[in-house]
Amino acid sequence: MAAAEAKAGAAILTAAADLFGERGYNATTTRAIAERAGVNEVTLFRTFKNKQGVLRALSESWAGSMAGFAVGAVPAPEDTRGTLAALASMEVAQATAIGGVAIRLALDAASSPEVAEVTGDGSGANFAGLAEYLTARQAAGDLRADLDARVMAEVFFALTSTMVMSRQLLGGAQYEMSQDQVNAQALEIYLSGVLPKAGRS
């Protein structure tokens, strides 16, 4: 029974992400989510209580793949270059998978207290987690001390997840290059600015 409930819960979250991205939070009903998931609406209520509960579970499922939340789980955080490469790949993958719905929910948060209550601190906490890591690496001498770690964090996100989202909004880049090649070059652009001169080779 637990496996069936887990399967239904996963189907509900997938359906909700699709519908929130397509219609927005306010225009998406629990009935529509249940129908898209192929479950009874009662199952949705039993599992998540209400639509906001679905959004909360969805947000929590995304958090583990965001750089600022995941940085503590990186195997060798003292390897600054390797850690930033891993976090950049994670952010790009996350933005590729959920960028559209994330943008839609960010816009919905401005007019929906339910959305703002759930997502309000998520991006801020993600940002703060990365800035804290960058501050620690500055103290270790791995990153330039003359730069503000918060600016470094903001630029990191601009060159990873935000770049992917802008490509989604603009219909893709106008040149042929694999996402992995783009990721590698974006990371090199970032590192050329934040690493001390001795660490840029």
Give the pLDDT score at 100: 80
DSSP per-residue letters across 19-54: HHHHH-STT--HHHHHHHHTS-HHHHHHHHSSHHHH
Give the pLDDT score at 102: 83
Tokens representing residue 85 in the block: 């490469």
Rg of the chain over Cα atoms, rounded to whole angstroms, equals 19
- Where is average pLDDT lowest: 80-89, 100-109, 118-127, 171-180? 171-180
Match 């690496």 to its residue by tokens.
137
What rounded mean pLDDT belongs to the chain? 87
Give the pLDDT score at 150: 95
Give the pLDDT score at 1: 46
**Domains in the chain, please, with CATH?**
1-51 (1.10.10.60), 64-196 (1.10.357.10)
Give the pLDDT score at 174: 61
Question: How does residue 33 score in pLDDT terms, banded at 50, 70 and 90?
Answer: very high
Give the pLDDT score at 121: 67
Q: How far apart are CA 186 and CA 88, in angstroms?
A: 9
Q: How many residues does the chain have?
A: 201
Question: Which residues are within 8 A (CB) of 115 and not within 5 positions of it... i.e. 6 or more apart?
Answer: 25, 55, 105, 108, 109
Q: What is the pTM of this model?
A: 0.78
Residue 87 near residue 74 (C-beta atoms within 8 A)? yes
> Per-residue pLDDT for 201 more than 60?
no
> Per-residue pLDDT for 71 more than 50?
yes
More confident residue, 164 or 80: 80
Give the pLDDT score at 161: 75
More confident residue, 133 or 190: 133
